[in-house]
Amino acid sequence: MTFSDIFKSSFLNNVASVSLLDMAIAMVLAFAIGLFIFLIYKKTFSGVMYSSSFGVTLIALTLVTTFVILAVTSNVVLSLGMVGALSIVRFRTAIKEPLDIAFLFWAIAAGIVLAAGMIPLAVIGSIIIGVIILLFANRRSSVNPYIVVIRCQDSASEKQAVEYLTGKTKKCVVKSKTARKGEIELNLEIRLAEDNTDFINELSDMEGVESAVLVSYNGDYMG
């Protein structure tokens, strides 16, 4: 063993394994695709509370996946060690919306494909996925559903309130009913015939009706 062999470092040998130009192109394209995914997510979000941090996570996830795969593709031994290291990572954050899972996988897949050098596939594939999500995620019913919560004193006032709502709305379906002594609570899904909610005021003034609450409902439902 010579004196130079003592200071020979395999770490320094890997410095030039990926060129600076390749790194720059991959990271810039990863940022552009991640930003595109973030804009699609922001445009198609339909949940209760929008999370800006999740949108930034999509951009960061695309960038992180890209440079990790760049390192893996340049060294076979490193790829085996990376698989072992990532296998012990556990994520506990709850996914609130089912579509958020698709965005997470989209960001990861875009970073993998981009770092593998398949730039046309990453760009064109992301555009196609974005267009499809825009077409299907933005499809909404022309008539928004509402939930009406009614508290009645007896079955007679309950029947009168349901008949009144049926005549004032396009659709009126009982979702749940809770009966107690001296009180009946109804949850009904309705579709408005017109953009006028004055019927709730008239409903609350009916004899035997203690209260009437109208709530906008944008969850999953059968049309």
Q: Which domains does the chain have, with CATH numbers?
A: 3-137 (no CATH), 145-216 (3.30.70.260)
Mean pLDDT over 70-80 rounds to 66
CA terminus-to-terminus distance, the chain: 78
| pLDDT single digits (tens) 116-165 | 888 899 999 999 999 999 888 766 555 678 888 999 888 888 888 888 88
pTM for the model:
0.60
Distance, CA of 183 to CA of 212 (rounded, Å): 13
| pLDDT single digits (tens) 14-32 | 555 667 787 888 899 999 9
User: What is the reported pLDDT for 125?
Assistant: 93
Strands 183-192 and 169-180: antiparallel
Mean pLDDT of the chain: 79
User: What is the reported pLDDT for 32?
Assistant: 95
Checking if the pLDDT of 50 tops 80, the result is no
104 and 90 Cβ atoms separated by less than 8 Å: no
| pLDDT single digits (tens) 162-205 | 888 888 888 888 888 888 888 889 888 888 877 778 888 888 88
Checking if the pLDDT of 59 tops 60, the result is yes
Checking if the pLDDT of 47 tops 70, the result is no
Tell me what percent of the residues of the chain surpass a pLDDT of 90. Answer: 17
- 121 vs 221, residue with greater confidence: 121
- 159 vs 78, residue with greater confidence: 159
Q: Which helix or strand (DSSP H or E) is residue 34 part of?
A: helix 20-44
Question: Going by C-beta distance under 8 Å and a sequence separation of 6 or more, which residues neighbour residue 103?
Answer: 37, 40, 41, 58
103 and 55 Cβ atoms separated by less than 8 Å: no
User: What is the reported pLDDT for 62?
Assistant: 92
In sequence order, what DSSP letters do the residues of 49-116 get, joined into one string?
Answer: S--HHHHHHHHHHHHHHHHHHHHHHH-HHHHHHHHHHHTT--------SHHHHHHHHHHHHHHHHHHT
65 and 83 Cβ atoms separated by less than 8 Å: no
Mean pLDDT over 40-56 rounds to 80
Mean pLDDT: which of 83-87, 92-96, 99-103, 192-196 is highest?
A: 99-103
- 221 vs 175, residue with greater confidence: 175
Where would I find the H helices in 138-208? 155-168, 198-204
Distance, CA of 203 to CA of 163 (rounded, Å): 11
- 182 vs 107, residue with greater confidence: 107
Distance, CA of 62 to CA of 60 (rounded, Å): 5
- 47 conformational bin, left if phi > 0, alpha if psi -120 to 50, beta if neither: beta
Structure tokens at 155: 């079955």
